Amino acid sequence: MDDPAARPPRPRRRAALAAAALTVVAAAVAVVLVGVPRGDDVVDFGATPGPDAPPLPADDGLRVADADPALAPDAGSVLTDGGWDAASAFVARSAASGRPTVINLFASWCGPCEREMPLLNRVAEEELGTEFLGVAHLDARADAERFVAEQQVRFTTLLDLDGEVAAAVGGRGLPVTVAFDRDGVMVGRVFGELTEDSLDGLLRLVR
């Protein structure tokens, strides 16, 4: 887990700081087994924020309306530098073509991110009507490149050095996966490691 506003720690300290952050965030969430509505039609799955977690703007909904599709990374590109401008443009471009989008935030130091990636890769290949975007969150380029290569990530990825995407979608830690419908509206989020059920629940919102 990591604070989206923080810059990446030095490599030799990253694992220790990430472990400490994981403990803090784990204390601030309540584990649930079903989707929970929040805000304007946003459904949260997984370890949803508990009552004491500070609210974030995206909890009340997020619409990608003014994004410039020209800023979107090329389809299939690997770790293009970019933050929320690029990610929202990707969503807008998908919406313009009538497709929903799933965004997955990951990092090389995140164990659950590594465990869920085979499932995400497989489903991304099966869900031909949905666009998938991976976002390396606050990661060193060399580490992110190694993660993408080792996990054989086959969908488009961004390298978000400033944590803008996590801040925009209301991600409080890693991993987090969000879905936007064909109108560019965020309709669901999965906090924590994906499972077959939680990912299927997220996709049912946009199919």
Q: Return the pLDDT at 27.
A: 30
Residue 5, exposed/middle/buried by CB under 10 A (0-12, 13-18, 19+)?
exposed
Q: Give the position of tokens 């965004």.
A: 103
Q: Which CATH class is domain 11-50+61-204?
A: alpha beta
Phi and psi torsions of 194, nearest 5°: -65, 145
Give the whole-angstrom CA distance, residue 36 versus residue 23: 23
Picking from 78, 97, 100, the residue whose alpha carbon sits closest to that of residue 181 is 100
pTM: 0.81
Q: Return the pLDDT at 150.
A: 97
**Residues 156-175: pLDDT tens digits?**
999 999 999 999 999 988 99
Whether the Cβ atoms of residue 191 and residue 48 lie closer than 8 Å to each other: yes
48 or 190: which leads in pLDDT: 190
**Residues 91-147: pLDDT tens digits?**
999 999 999 999 999 999 999 999 999 999 999 999 999 999 999 999 999 999 999
Whether the Cβ atoms of residue 46 and residue 192 lie closer than 8 Å to each other: yes
Domain boundaries, the chain: 11-50+61-204
